[in-house]
Amino acid sequence: MKTTRLLVFAAVMASLCLAASAQTSVIFTDNDGTFTFDEHSGDATYDELALGGISNGLGQSGTLTAISGLAALGVPNAAVPFNNVTDTCTPACLGTITLNTGTIASGSILSSATFNPGGNFMVSYGSLGVSFSGTFSSASWKEISTNVWVFDGTIMGGTLTVGSNTYTIQTAATVQLTTVGGVPSYHTNKETYTFSDSGGTTNFSIAPEPGSLALFGSGLIVVGLLTRRRLSAKGASTQG
């Protein structure tokens, strides 16, 4: 009977340890921004793709319309109905998303292109002090159908801030944004192309802090030592 109880207890502890190691998927959703690609070599943003405010004044940040997966950190899931999000982010939105890539490495902005590592990315959910930021390790831009482009980016080692707490995201964060169908606009005076962002998602996972896993591990060690001591004591009393 005691052996059965010990086995059940060990199984419960093992399941707790597995639960502690599970990862939670976090998703930020946005829309309504403006991508800008600058061909003018006199600008600091030359040869980069940006979403949000940039030096030539044509960029417009994406509006954060939904957030999920941070309930364990005290941030409830939230969403803004699509028809309540306008180009000026009124009457309400959850926050903003901005990005700029590294310089273009190959290809063309009017068909498909890859970008060098670099740039930066920022999601801001101001009402609860939540933000996610990082630098692109890789990024691409591709026309998937007539006048519809998709931006794909990967961020390694991003930083998630929730209030006064900061977490380093060890797994890769993926950023995917899609343009609205339509011919991109070319602004001759600024030598830039602009594309409207019709929505996208940012995905990453958070895992428990190493200290939590260490705590569960030490708990299993203590259980093992107590079990061994109990068995030893039982053996000694039997021999006596």
Q: Where are the alpha helices (DSSP H) in the chain?
A: 2-21, 210-239
Residues of the chain with pLDDT under 70: 1-22, 53-58, 82-91, 127, 208-240
The candidate with the shortest Cα–Cα distance to 141, out of 52, 42, 36, is 36
The string of pLDDT tens digits covering residues 123-133 is 999 767 899 99
- 44: helix, strand or coil: coil
The string of pLDDT tens digits covering residues 179-219 is 877 778 888 888 889 888 888 999 999 875 543 333 334 44
The candidate with the shortest Cα–Cα distance to 133, out of 104, 156, 102, is 156
Count of CB atoms situated within 10 Å of the CB of 126: 11
Query: Whole-prediction pTM value?
Result: 0.75
Phi/psi at 64 (5° precision)? -75, 120
- 203: helix, strand or coil: strand
Which tokens go with 210? Answer: 């190493």
